[in-house]
Structure 1
Amino acid sequence: MLKVRIIPILTFNGFGLVKTKKFSNPRMVGNPVQAAKVYNSRGVDELVFVDIFASRQNRKINLKLVGDVIKECYMPVGIGGGIASISDIKDLLKIGADKVVIKTKALTDVNFIKEAVGFFGSQCITISVDAIKKEGRYMIHNTLGLSIGFDEFIKKMEECEVGEFVLNSVDNDGMMSGFDIELIEYVSENTKIPIIAAGGGGELGHYSDLFTKTSIGAVGSASIFHFTQFTPHDIKMELASKGFPVRI
C-alpha cells in the first residue's frame, strides 16, 4: 500500500508567507526560506509553494526566491504562481522544481495544459482545483469573473491527462474546523487523478477523519502548522495509530 503523504502548503504574496481564510484577508505568517528549512528538518513528504497573487497581478514568480526555497528542500517541491507559458515551466524545473501547480491558465486555456502535459509529462503538471459552494452546488472559484462548473472543469483536466489535483475547499480554507469530506470523496470517486486534499485541517482528529472517510492518498495543510503546536510528524503519528501507512 502506498504511504499517505503529508504536504505543507506555503502561500506567498510577493513579499512573505501569508495565510488566508476563505481565500480572503491574507495574514502574514513568516519567511518562505526559513519555513522550507524547518519543514525539511521535520522530514515532510513534499512541499508546495504557491505565489497566490502572481497571476492576479500579472507578474511572474520570483525565481531567485523560489530557488532559495528549493535549496532548503530534500523532498519533492511543487511550485505555482503566474505560470502562463512553456518557458515559465522550464524556468521552474531548471532551478529544481519537481512539478508545477497551475490554476489561472487552466481556467482560460485548456490547450496550454494539453501542450504542457505533452511536453513535460503528466507527473509534472498539477492543477489547483478551488471549489466553492454556490446555491447548493460546487463551482470553480476564480477572480476572473468566469462561471465554471466544477464537474466540467474536472473532466477537461482529466482529458488533458494532468498528473494531480490540489483540491481546496474555499469555504473551509483557513477555518481549521475540518475538511469538506463530501467534496473530497465526491471527487475521489469520480476521477482517477490523484488528489491532494486541502482546506480545513486544525486538529489531529480532522486528519484521521479525512483518511478514514475518503480514499485519497495525500493531504495539504498550512494553518495547523502556522497557528498550533502540531507538526507534520504529529499528523503522521496520529494516522499511524489508526493503521494508515506513513513515512516516519
Structure 2
Amino acid sequence: MLKVRIIPILTFNGFGLVKTKKFSNPRMVGNPVQAARVYNSRGVDELVFVDIFASSQKRKVNLKLVADVIKECYMPVAIGGGIETIEDINNLLKIGADKVIIKTKALLDAKFIEKAVAFFGSQCISISIDAYATPDGYKIFNKLDIEISLEDFVSLMISCKVGEFVVTSVDNDGMMDGFDIDLINRVTELTNIPIIAAGGGGSMKHYNALFSQTKVQAVGSASIFHFTQFTPLDIKNELKSINVPVRI
C-alpha cells in the first residue's frame, strides 16, 4: 500500500499568508518563505502554495516569491493562482514547481486543461475542486457565476486526463471541526484519480476518521498548523497508530 501524504497548504493574498473560514474573512497568518522553511525542517511530504486571489484580481502569481518559497523546499511543491496560459505553467515549472493547481481556467475552458495535460503530462496538472453542499447535491464554488455540479465538473476533468484533484469542503474550510467525509467519498466514487482531501482538520480524531472512513491517500491542512500545537509529525504518528502507512 502507498504511504499517505501529509501536505501543508499555504494560501496567499499577494502580500502574506492568509487563512479563510468557509472561503471568506481571510486572516493574516504569516510569511510564506518562513513558513516553507519551517515545514521543510519538519520533513513534510509535499507543500501546496496557492494565491487564492490572483484569478479574481486578474493578476499573475508573484514568480519571485514563489521561487523564494521553492528554494526553501526539498519536498515536492504544487503552485496555484492566476494560471491562464501554457506560458504561466511553464514559468512555474521552470522555477522549480513540481505541478500546478488550477480551478478558474478549468471552469472557463476545459480545452485548455486538455492542452496543458498533453503538453506537460498528467502528473503536472492538478485541479482544485472546491465544493459546497446544497439541497440538490454538491456544487463547485466559484466567483464566475458558473453553476456546475460536483459530478459534472469531476467528469469533465476526468475526460481531460488530469493527474490529481485537491478536494476542499467550502463548508468545513477553516472550521477545524472535521472533514466532510461524504464529499470525499462521493469524489472517490466518481474517479480513481488521486485525491488530496482538505477542509476541516482540527484534531487528531479528524485525521483518524478521514483515513478510516475514506480511501484517500493524501490530506491537505492549514488551520491545524497555524492555530494549534499540532505538527505534521503528530498527524503521521496518529495515522501510524491505526496502521495507515506514512513516511516518518
TM-score, shorter chain, exceeding 0.5: yes
Gaps of 5+ in 2: none
SS at match of 2:7: strand
Cα distance per residue 1:193-247 (max 9 Å; x no partner): 1000000000011001100000010000000000000000000000001101000
2:226 and 2:207 map into 1 onto residues whose CA distance is 16
How far, CA to CA, are the matches of 2:189 and 2:237 in structure 1? 27
Match of 1:236 in 2: 236
d(CA) in 1 for partners of 2:148 and 2:190?
18
Q: Letter of the 1:34 partner, please give it.
A: Q
4+ residue segments displaced more than 3 Å: none
CA contact (8 A) 2:151 2:190 kept: no
Is the 2:49–2:77 contact (alpha carbons within 8 Å) kept by the matching residues of 1? yes
Cα drift, residue 57 of structure 1: 0.2
SS in structure 2 at match of 1:26: strand
- In structure 1, what is the Cα distance between the partners aligned to 2:133 and 2:207? 22
Task: Could you tell me which runs of 5 or more consecutive residues in structure 1 were left unpaired when the two chains were aligned.
Answer: none
Alignment of 1:198-237 (within 5 A): 198-237=198-237
**Secondary structure of 1:20's partner?**
strand
TM-score, length basis structure 1? 0.99
Q: 1:159 Cα shift? A: 0.3
Structure 1 residues 46-74: Cα deviation after superposition (integer angstroms, max 9, x where no partner) = 00000000000000000000000000000
Deviation at 1:136, TM superposition (A): 4.2
1:194 — aligned with what?
Answer: 194
Identity of aligned residues (%): 73
Match of 2:80 in 1: 80
Residue 93 of structure 1, CA deviation: 0.3
Q: Give the match for residue 134 of structure 2.
A: 134
Question: TM-score when scaled to structure 2?
Answer: 0.99
Amino acid at match of 1:83: I
Rounded Cα–Cα distance in structure 2 between residues aligned with 1:136 and 1:200: 22
Aligned letter for 1:187? V
Residue 89 of structure 2 corresponds to residue 89 of structure 1: yes
* Equivalent AA in structure 2 for residue 96 of structure 1: G
The Cα offsets for residues 16-56 of structure 1, whole Å up to 9 and x where unpaired, read as: 00000000000000000000000000000000000000000
Equivalences for 1:117-196 in 2 at 5 Å? 117-196=117-196
Q: Distance in 2 between matches of 1:192 and 1:95?
A: 30
Partner of 1:59: 59
How many Å separate the matches in 2 of 1:91 and 1:144? Answer: 25
Structure 1 counterpart of 2:75, one-letter code? M
The CA deviation string for residues 82-137 of structure 1, in whole angstroms up to 9 with x for no partner, is 00000000000000000000010000000000000000000000000000112241
Distance of 1:71 and 1:240 partners within structure 2: 30
Work out the number of aligned pairs and report it: 248
Number of the residue aligned with 2:116: 116
SS of residue in 1 equivalent to 2:201? coil
Q: CA RMSD in A?
A: 0.5
Letter in 1 for 2:195: I
Give the Cα–Cα distance (whole angstroms) in 2 for the partners of residues 115 and 186 of structure 1: 27
User: Which deviates further from its counterpart, 46-55 or 127-136?
Assistant: 127-136
Q: Residue 162 of structure 1 aligns to which amino acid in structure 2?
A: V
CA distance, structure 2, for counterparts of residue 114 and residue 73 of structure 1: 29
Corresponding residue of 1:16? 16
The residue that corresponds to 1:29 in the other structure is: 29
